[in-house]
A = this chain, B = another copy of it.
Amino acid sequence: MPQNIYDNLNFFERYSSLPRSKHGLDGAPEWPVLQSLLPTIRNLRVLDLGCGFGWFCRWAMAAGAQSVVGVDLSKNMLKRAKEATNDKSIEYVLADLDTIDFDAASYDLVFSSLTLHYVKDLPALFNKVFRSLAPKGRFVFSVEHPIILAPTDPSWKTLDSGIAVWPLDRYLDEGPRVVNWLVDGVVKEHRTVATYVNLLNLSGHSICRVEEWGPSLEQVQENPEWAVERNRPYFLLVAAQSNQECDD
């Protein structure tokens, strides 16, 4: 059983007040890029791994999905997700991504936002995702970028020259990282970009697109305090596919 920080009451209250929790997809600055990795949703069977409050599940349903299954480890989050919709085409499942399995060839889109860095056995999950995808099925996910998760001391440092730099170390040493995020002692799994790509390939997926997300120049213009965020990528977004040729 992995750490289930989302059912820690103190964490849950703080998490619930984040922009992405209150405003959903529109509160997530990486959403426009993540959305650009998705196929046309109409008539797709969608699986959301780490669905949280169900924002993406409801968005997919509104975008014309045939059915949506949202999986999460947190009772608190699924309770809220269920309260937010009466739509019977959305099914919420309480399960641990390290032990869950899926029906074969049952989904056209497997989606996961900022969840896979909590999964211990990613090779196993990628194999199960690949098996669950229908022909031409797509797997789209975001994780914290390894550059964010690697360091011993993940906070901006200012050089004598005045430049704010991200103090990278331990990048090549994969494994758990204990970070203080909202509460102390949150455990995430650090893996390199190469590992994400190679595990996808090994599990049979074709890589369609990789994005290293930071705010766009337009977003920085609207939020000048974000300028420093272009010094290193914050999220890693990946689109992969079950067949050999990537569609656009």
Query: In this assembly, does A12 line the interface, its C-beta being within 8 Å of a C-beta of chain B?
Result: no
Query: In this assembly, does A221 line the interface, its C-beta being within 8 Å of a C-beta of chain B?
Result: no
A175 CB to closest chain B CB (Å) equals: 12
Q: Which stretch of A64-72, A77-85, A102-110, A228-236 is in the interface?
A: A228-236
Interface residues of A in 155-202 (CB under 8 A from B): 157, 159, 161, 163-173, 192-194, 197-198, 201
- Are the CB atoms of A197 and B192 closer together than 8 Å? no
Identical chains in the assembly: 2
The interface residues of chain B lying within 8 Å CB-to-CB of A201 are 207-209, 246
The interface residues of chain B lying within 8 Å CB-to-CB of A207 are 197, 201, 206-207
Assess A152 versus B147: contact at CB under 8 Å? Given A194-B211, A210-B198, A231-B170. no
Interface residue tally for chain A (C-beta within 8 Å): 39
Interface residues of A in 4-35 (CB under 8 A from B): none
Residues of A within 8 A of B (CB): 147, 151-153, 157, 159, 161, 163-173, 192-194, 197-198, 201, 206-212, 214, 230-233, 244-246
Ordered by A's residue number, 13 sampled pairs between the chains whose C-beta atoms are within 8 Å are A147-B147, A147-B168, A153-B163, A153-B165, A163-B169, A169-B231, A170-B231, A172-B212, A172-B233, A192-B212, A192-B233, A194-B212, A244-B245
